[in-house]
Structures are given as C-alpha cells and as structure tokens.
Amino acid sequence: MGKKYKFSKKDDQPKESEKDLKFIDLFCGIGGFRIGFNRAGGECVFSSDWDKFSQQTYEANFGEKPVGDIHTVAVADIPKFDVLCAGFPCQPFSIAGVSKKISLGRKHGFQDEKQGNLFFTLAEIIDYHRPAAFVLENVKNLKSHDKGRTFEIIFNTLTEALGYRVYHKVIDAQSLVPQHRERIFIVGFREPRHFEFPEFPSEGPKLASILQKSPPEKYTLSDHLWKYLQDYAAKHKAAGNGFGFGIRTGSEVARTLSARYHKDGSEILISQGKNKNPRRLTPRECARLMGYPEDFKIEVSDTQAYRQFGNSVVVPVVERIAASVVEALRRPIDYKPDLVLHEKKDDGPRSQHEDLERTPVKYDRKKPKKK
C-alpha cells in the first residue's frame, strides 16, 4: 500500500456552500470546461494554457487571457479553489498520437518529455491545494496505453498517494452531439463521497442539426485533393489497412473530430450529392459539433479553429458531469443512495468505481516555495 497522506486542517481548505464553487481551468484550450462548470454554477478563478492562439480565442470569449506555461507559476500562487478541471494533453496517449511518435522514433506516454509528464504537474497542484474535487479528461486509449500501466500509475497516484476517492468512465459524446467521440473522465473527491456519472440519452442528434444551409464554396474539396484522398484510400484498402476518408450525410453521425482536421478534412467529409465533390465542415459547424453556443467567438484562422475544436472537450458532456460533481459536493459526505437494482448487461455488472490492483507509488510531496 502507498503511504497515507496527512490531511491539512479543515480551516485551510476551501469550504463548499450554497455560493458558487470556485474552479481552476488548466490546459484550458478554448474554454470547454469553463462553459460547462459556469453553467453548473461555478466561478473560474484561474486559467492556464501555453498555446497563444488558444489564449486568443479564450480571451475573446471570457475577457481574460490564460496564464501561459503552468510551470512558470508557483503552485502556491494559484488562488484557492474547490474544483480542479483539466483536459491534460492527450497526444502522448492517443492511438493516433502514439502511432505517429513511434513512426518518427519519438517517445510516447510518460516518456514524452514535453507533454507526457504534465499529469504529475496536476498531481503536485492537487497535493498542495487539496481541492474538494477534480475532473480530468483524456482519450479513451489512456486506459490501455502501455498495457494498462499508464492508467494504473495515474489511478494509484490519485488514490494511494493523494488519498482521493476516484471514479472514472469512458463516455461517448454522440448521445448529445452528432459525433462518435469517446473520452475518459476521471472524477475525484477529497472526502469519500458518493458519486454517479450522469445518465445520457440513448440516441443523440444527427449531423443535419449542425450543418449550415449555404456554406462558402471554399470548403468544397478541389478536384486534386478529392482524387488524392480516393487514391490514398484505395491504396490502403488494397493493403488491408483501415485508413481512408469518411463521407457523411445529414442523417448520420460524424467520426471523431481531430486536431489534424485542417490538413485535408478526410475524417469528416460532408456529401454534396453525386455531381459535386464533398466538403469540409466549416469552423462554425465544428463549434456546434463540440457543443459550443452559437455566440462563441471564432477570431482565429480556419487552421487554428480546426485545431482548437479538435482538441476540445464536448461542452454538454462536461456540463452534465459538472452538475453531478456539484450535486455530490453539496450533499452530506456520508450520503448513501437508495439501493436500485439494474438489469445485468451482456458484459457483466460494472460499478461506477472500477478498482484496479493498487500498487505503491512513490510521490514527492515537498511543498513548493512561493516565488
């Protein structure tokens, strides 16, 4: 078993009340977490993201520019908060990201020197501030990366080393937006609170609900690009690979929008009939695909907008999770729900708290000095 964490005095901890809960928005991107937690009654007191274009979009919509590299901020200088929100960089763990790094001979996962260890930056902040809760988001592949060892380290760090009650679940956003997008959400509580992930509709909207009626012609693929994509798909199909483009109609659901969408748009192409080349989604359609409100400002280039929305969380998914987190924090710590029996699924019963074998994790808890 890992070493037990000695909790600070209760007077040193932020108190949950009927007032707005304070949260921080780390690796904030363009603010998907912020919108979701604002709608749940939260108040953002600190945000951080290193990308200058994401900072630009964030500032245009929320009136404040996120702090840059989180490593330039002394942990002690981060304002007190109740909930930590973070969609920490997923490229070191995603299937596409890992494949690319391997092909280039680069390290991935925790061995990625630039992005792989940012989780431990979050752990350091959680350890110092002891927030009432945290919500983390990453790609589905985080659970299987390195044969499960990566997730085991994360889980054990949060539970054994930091002493939090942790819940996790892979959620497909297509019940709320017309996009097949599976992401893992990790929710933790300082006290042993009961928590259940929210329920989602059995069927969601289709692409027609987000498509513009008369998109600019520039989003239609050129003859050259369309021929290239068809030839590329045929080449890989002949080789037995699954690479290729994805054409969709308004009655269907899109593939996962990725940060590389600006390159050729191949993963989500919209059919324009037999006599016309398909087209990319417009940036506004991408915003809708990720659940952003219609008044969300897009003041960057199309290339940056595609990258930003491809890296974002799905806003309505975060909103529902945020509401459940806030509800859990406002209930008595010893709250226990009435027992409800559910029909057994084909893959067997599952609990909200999927325990892994817990192994000791060494973690340095030295308090950072204030700069």
Catalytic residues: 90
Place of tokens 């005095």: 9
Give the phi and the psi of residue 61 in degrees, each rounded to 5: -100, -25
CA dist 243 and 14 (Å) reads 49
Provide the 10 A C-beta neighbour count for residue 44.
22
- N- to C-terminal Cα distance for the chain? 34
CA 188 vs. chain centroid, Å, equals 15
Give the phi and the psi of residue 248 in degrees, each rounded to 5: -130, 155
Q: 24: helix, coil or strand? A: strand
Edge-to-edge strands of the sheet including 182-189?
A: 43-48, 22-26, 83-86, 133-139, 182-189, 165-172
Residues 183, 176: contact at Cβ < 8 Å? no
Residues in the chain: 371
Q: 23: helix, coil or strand? A: strand
Any bridge partners for residue 189, and if so which? 133, 165
CA dist 127 and 32 (Å) reads 25
